[in-house]
Amino acid sequence: MKEVHSAQQWDLVIKGRTTLFDVRFKEIWHYRDLLFLFVKRDFISFYKQTVLGPLWFFIQPIFTTIVFSFVFGKLAAIGTDGLPQYLFYLSGITAWQYFSDCLTKTSTVFKDNASIFGKVYFPRLIMPLSIIVSNLVRFGVQLLLLLTMMVYFYLKPMEGATFAVSNAIFFFPILVILMALLGLGIGLIITAITTKYKDLTFLVTFGVNLMMYGTTVIYPLSEVPAQYKNLIELNPMTGIIEGFRYAFLGKGEFSVWSVGYSAIITFVLLLIGILIFNKTEKNFVDTI
C-alpha cells in the first residue's frame, strides 16, 4: 500500500519561548477577546454581591477626600498651592488610586489565577493586561467625579482658591499610560517573586500605602522642605501626579523633564517586569 501524507494546516501552534525577550505581541492581540472577557469578569464578580454596586466607585474617593481635607487640610494645615482643598486631594487620589490598583492586583496575578494557568493555554500577559484595562473603567468614573467637582467650584468659587485647566491637558493620555505601565511593571516583578517568597504578598498593600506618603498626593511639592525635595522627586509617581494636577487644575511643579524621568523609570521597570514574568511563568505552577 502506498502511504499518503497530507499536509496539515494548524490555526495555532504552541511553542516554548526561545528567549526572555520573546513577548509575542501578535499572539496577545490574537487573544484580545479573552482579554475583554476577563475585564467583564472582574467588573461583574467584584460588584455583583454588593448592595451599592458601582456606586463604590464614587463613595471611596469622596470619603477619602473628606478625611484628607479634614486631617491634612484643617488639622495639619498643609497648603494646597492655592487650590480648593477638595479638588487638590481628589485629583491626587484619582491618579494614585489607579496606579495602586494596577500594582496591587497585578502583584497577585499568579497566586489568584493558578487554577486557570494550570489548565488551559493562553498568553499569560493577558491576565495582568486585563487588570490594567478593568481598572481603567474605575479610573474613568472617578475622573468624571473630579470633572463634576471642577464644574461645581467653577460655578461657586472659593475665596482665595482658584484653578484653571492648563495646556498640559494634552499630556493627559501620556500620564495615564505611564501610571498603568508603572503599576504593571512593579506588579509583574512582585508577582514573579511571590511565587517563591509568599510572605512578600503581605507587604504589598502596606508598602503601597507608605509609598503614597512619599508622593505628592496629600501635599504639593512646593510644601516639601528643600532638603527632602530631591528625595520626593526620585519617586516616579511624583512627576506623574504633579503633571496630572497641573493639567487639570493649573497648579503644581510640572515639567517635561520630570515626566521624562518618570517615563524612563517606568519603561525600565516594565522591561524588567516582563523579563522576570516570562522566566517565572514557565514553572510557577510547580512552586505556587
Q: What is the pLDDT of residues 197-239, one digit of tens each?
A: 776 777 887 888 888 998 999 999 888 888 889 899 999 999 9
Give residue 112's domain range. Answer: 25-286
Averaged pLDDT, 28-41: 75
| Residue with cell string 487650590 | 83
Query: What is the count of structural domains for the chain?
Result: 1
> Which of 31-40, 87-96, 112-121, 178-187 has the lowest average pLDDT?
112-121
Mean pLDDT of 23-50: 70
**Looking at residue 276, what is its pLDDT?**
86
Across 3-31, average pLDDT? 57
Residue 20 lies in a domain: no
> Does 262 fall in a domain?
yes
pLDDT at site 3: 47
Q: Is residue 123 part of a domain?
A: yes
CA–CA distance, 185 with 76 (Å, rounded to integer): 34
Residue 14 pLDDT: 53
How is residue 201 written as a grid cell? Answer: 504578598
Confidence of residue 74 (pLDDT cuts 50, 70, 90): confident
Instruction: With respect to residue 97, please indicate whether it lies within any of the assigned structural domains.
Output: yes
Does residue 130 have a pLDDT over 90?
A: no
pLDDT band at 77 (very low <50, low <70, confident <90, very high): confident
pLDDT per position as a tens digit, 158-179: 877 788 888 889 989 999 999 9
Q: Following DSSP, what letter does each residue of 198-260 receive, concatenated?
A: GGGHHHHHHHHHHHHHTTTTSS-GGGS-HHHHHHHHTSHHHHHHHHHHHHHHS-S---HHHHH
Q: Is residue 236 part of a domain?
A: yes
Q: 146: pLDDT confidence band, cut at 50, 70 and 90?
A: very high
Residues 173, 140: Cα–Cα separation, whole Å: 12
Does position 253 have pLDDT exceeding 80, yes or no? yes
Range 147-162 average pLDDT: 86
Are 123 and 204 in contact, with CB atoms under 8 Å apart? no
Q: What's the predicted TM-score (pTM) here? A: 0.83
Of all residues in the chain, the percent with pLDDT exceeding 90 is: 31
The pLDDT of residue 5: 47
15 assigned to some structural domain: no
